[in-house]
Structure 1
Amino acid sequence: MLSYVNIFSKDVVKLSGFYRDVFGFTEIEEIRSPIFVGLRTGQSNLGFNAQDAYDLLQLSEFKDPTGVNFLLNFDVESVEDVDRMTPLAVELGARLIKPPYKTYYNWYQSVLLDPEENVFRINKML
């Protein structure tokens, strides 16, 4: 079982709040710290680590990554959810890269960058 996907973040409160507000996730308040916020997403959790976590995890040499290093995928219940959540994400600070479309592999999805320029998709398998 995948327990957490963690994102290194410049502002853990703001970025976790973005994902909470777009997707309706709930915070796991009992594990919050000054450098970490966790969200319940369903089967796994999403964690947000402050920049201090690089040093804590002995990852200092990787502290300034560039480019896209991962892609988060969020599955939703319907095509209408993709259409509703995409502009909501933009309103809350995301940048739309590719508006909702039907893929060649029969999914309906949009591609966005969150407020810290991490790429994510909102998906519905058709």
Structure 2
Amino acid sequence: MPALTYTNIFTADIDRMAEFYGELFGFEENLVSRTPIFRAFFAGGTGLGFNAPDAYDLLGLTPQETPGDRVFQTFDVESQDEVRALTDKARDLGATIVKEPFTTYYGWYQSVLRDPDGNALRINFRGTPE
């Protein structure tokens, strides 16, 4: 079965985004893959990367010009308390809260945020409600 090795986010400021996610979740940076246009973190069995705009040319891609969410990241945590604590921490680090922590109709507990670049993300607990 194929495995997802990285999910990458394009950003004009890879240092700011790397600092935000690294500080928020305590992810360890994969220093071996650090370049002037890329930062990466080990993120629980996969990697989270940040690409500077120069990576578009390297990859043969063209930046999308139309607005709107196309993808968002979901980060699982160990408890509802951790969802609440990380949501508060994200706000302190410059995130915008879209939805405060809530229980979904399928029983998970999560918050929805936007990182400092405006990318959507969720902080999620999918265990038994407390």
Bigger proportion of residues as strand: 1
Q: Paired residue for 1:6?
A: 8
Q: Paired residue for 1:52?
A: 54
Runs of 4+ in 1 over 2 A off after TM superposition: 62-65
Q: Deviations over 1:17-46 (max 9, x none)?
A: 101111110100111000000001110000
Letter in 1 for 2:80: V
Distance in 1 separating the partners of 2:107 and 2:64: 37
Unaligned 5+ segments in structure 1 are: none
Q: Paired residue for 1:107?
A: 108
Q: Deviations over 1:59-104 (max 9, x none)?
A: 12x3535211101000001111001000100100100000000010
Q: What secondary structure sits across from 2:45 in the alignment?
A: coil
Query: Would the aligned equivalents of 1:54 and 1:63 in 2 still touch at CA under 8 Å?
Result: no
Unaligned 5+ segments in structure 2 are: none
TM-score of the superposed pair, with normalisation by structure 2: 0.93
Count of residues in correspondence between the two structures: 125
Distance in 2 separating the partners of 1:17 and 1:43: 20
Q: Paired residue for 1:74?
A: 75
Q: Paired residue for 2:92?
A: 91
RMSD (Å) for aligned C-alpha atoms = 1.0
Question: Structure 1 vs Structure 2: percent identity of aligned residues?
Answer: 46
